[in-house]
Homo-oligomer: A and B are copies of this chain.
Amino acid sequence: MSPKTKEQFEAARQKSIEKITDSAVKLFAEYGYLNVSINQIAKTAGVSQGLMYNYFNSKEALLLYIISSMMEEMGHLMMSFHAITDPFEKFEKIVRATFTLLKEKKEFYATIWPVITQQGVSQQLQEMLRHTFTSLIDVIEVMLKDMNIANPRLEAFRLGAMLDGAALGYLYVFKEEYPLDEMEQLIIQTYKK
C-alpha cells in the first residue's frame, strides 16, 4: 500500500553502487580503464548497462569516484600514523604499511598506475593525483627531517621513487619473482639508524 521506505531505497542504492564499483575496480585493475567497457562492468556486476547511469554521470565519473575513494583511504592510512611521536617508528610503520597495501590490495595500485600513465584521462583526475602525491612527499619530508636525515626533501623524493619503482617492478614486470620482502627490509634499514 505504501511505497518502499527511504531506508529500503537507500539500502538498494548502496547495494547497487557497491556491486558496480566492486566490479569496476576489479576490471579496471586487471585490464585498465580504457580497455573495460560499461557492458563488461554491468555484466560482471550482474546489473543492466543503464543502471550505472543512475549513480554516475559517465564512465569517467565512475573512475573518479573509485580513485577518490582510494585516495581518501590512503589519506586515512597516513593519518593513522600521525600520532606516533618517534619518527623512526613512524617511518617503519609507513613503509611496512605501503608494502602491505601493495601485497594485499594490488587493485589499489593497479587501478591508479594505468590512469596516471594514460594521457587523455580527465584533467580533474590528473590534478587530484598530483595533489595527493605532493601531500605525501610533504609528509615524508617532515618525517625525514625529524629523523635528522640530510636534505630531507630530496630524500623524500628518493624514498617515493623507490616505493613507486618497487610497486611497478612487482606489479607489472617481475610479479611473484620480485624480492618484495627483501626490498622492504632494505629500505627500512637504510634509514633506520
Contacts and interface: CB of A to CB of B under 8 A. Distances in A.
A157 B163 CA distance: 12
Contacts of A114: 114, 117-119
A120 B40 CA distance: 14
A114 B31 CA distance: 12
What's the number of copies of this chain in the assembled complex?
Answer: 4
B129 A173 contact: yes
B163 A133 contact: no
A12 interface: no
22 contacts: A32-B118, A34-B34, A35-B120, A113-B117, A114-B117, A116-B168, A116-B172, A119-B172, A130-B174, A133-B173, A151-B186, A153-B179, A154-B179, A157-B179, A160-B165, A161-B162, A161-B163, A161-B183, A162-B165, A163-B165, A164-B165, A165-B165
Interface of A: 30-32, 34-35, 110, 113-114, 116-120, 129-130, 133-134, 151, 153-155, 157-158, 160-166, 168-169, 171-174, 178-179, 182-183, 186-187
